[in-house]
Amino acid sequence: MPDPLPMIGALVRETERVKFILAYRPGLLSPTLFTQIVNTVSWMSDGRIALNLVAGISPAEQAFYGDFLAHDQRYARSEEFLDVCHRFWRGETPLTHKGEHYTIEDAQLGLGYKGGGRPHIYISGASAVAQKTAITYADCWLRYGDTPEGIAAVTEPLLSQGCEVGIRMHVLARETRAEALAAVEDMMRDPDEQHRAWVSDFVGKSDSEAVKTSFRLADTASDDWLSPMLWSGAVAYRGGPALCVVGSYAEVAEYLYAYKAAGVSEFIFSGWPTRDEMRIFYTHVAPLIREHERNAAGS
């Protein structure tokens, strides 16, 4: 997989309006260098960069990069990392920091973030320590999907502290529910069982609460349905993001709007294939969601 740092530098030069979320694992670069890179991209892109800070989902994968910290230690390092980044973005220079994971002396950056301020920050994870980190250092807590009722049960502590909530999931919408269900059936014809075995082995070795929670949730589904609209059949093959809202255009729009009442204000959607499903979504589903919003505002 290409490294996202040079990729985002190339992509912002080829686009004018698209905003990018850079997923990054604290610990691979010093916070000084990372802030300098993000600030540089902000000027190249006119501020079209947001950050999704992830602490890692697998000790084996983290070991690829020479990182052998345990789950909670990685989040502690993330907090220290973000604390330094925030201090740079607040203009607290020269900056000296002596912590458990980083020691920095009299650091100054010659380039601030475009327009002042800082990028929008997401923290991903399902654990209590991930939520704590999001409340303290992020704008939005990002997690895998669940039913609106399941999401509502965990959002209050974050919302009460001013932290937004976002979910990552798939969408499959068609003109009728029958067509949507047929598309699901067609997609799961001759599934890759070898890849399913690889995913199962990866999950077994993961120390990520988000990953394990998404698979436990899928295991509770009745015939792969957590609700009449939420299908979990692809999670075993594609992981937590594959929890999928399935239905007609109107059904999907109404179901997604229900997440707003649960406290969700941001979504990261994908599908199979992503570009095709994205075109269907913004052509047929998004206008119906906006209609729900207008009706609610006028009532």
The pLDDT value given to residue 61 = 86
Structural domain count, the chain? 2
The pLDDT value given to residue 98 = 98
Cβ 50 vs Cβ 122: under 8 Å = yes
Cβ count near 270 (within 10 Å): 17
The pLDDT value given to residue 114 = 96
Both 238 and 172 in one domain: the answer is yes
Does 239 map to a domain? yes
Among residues 116, 138, 160, the one where a domain terminates is 138
User: Alpha-carbon distance 3 to 15, whole Å?
Assistant: 19
Does 114 map to a domain? yes
Short-list 146, 144, 148, CA closest to 211: 144
Cβ 121 vs Cβ 131: under 8 Å = no
User: Alpha-carbon distance 279 to 272, whole Å?
Assistant: 12
Both 111 and 73 in one domain: the answer is yes
- Determine the 3-state secondary structure of 138 from DSSP: coil
Among residues 122, 138, 154, the one where a domain terminates is 138
**What's the domain range around 248?**
168-298
Short-list 137, 120, 135, 92, CA closest to 19: 120
The pLDDT value given to residue 27 = 87
Both 67 and 21 in one domain: the answer is yes
User: Alpha-carbon distance 185 to 14, whole Å?
Assistant: 38
Both 126 and 232 in one domain: the answer is no
Does 49 map to a domain? yes
Both 51 and 172 in one domain: the answer is no
Indicate the pTM of the whole model: 0.93
Residue 178 belongs to domain with CATH number: 3.20.20.30
**Please, which residues bridge with residue 246 across strands?**
172
The pLDDT value given to residue 34 = 97
Query: Splitting the chain (299 residues) into consecutive groups of 10 residues, what average pLDDT does each group show?
Result: 90 96 92 98 98 91 91 96 98 97 97 96 95 97 96 95 97 98 94 92 90 91 95 93 97 97 95 91 97 88
Structure-token match 């890849």, residue found: 195
Short-list 239, 25, 55, CA closest to 129: 55
Does 99 map to a domain? yes
Q: 178: Cβ–Cβ under 8 A, 6 or more apart, which residues?
A: none
E runs forming strands in 157-258: 164-174, 225-227, 230-231, 244-248
Both 27 and 105 in one domain: the answer is yes
Cβ 213 vs Cβ 151: under 8 Å = no
The pLDDT value given to residue 102 = 98
| DSSP-assigned letter for residue 242 | G
The pLDDT value given to residue 297 = 85
Both 120 and 238 in one domain: the answer is no
Cβ 156 vs Cβ 235: under 8 Å = no
- Determine the 3-state secondary structure of 125 from DSSP: coil
Give yes or no for a cis peptide into 6 (omega within 30° of 0). no
The pLDDT value given to residue 273 = 85
- Determine the 3-state secondary structure of 121 from DSSP: strand
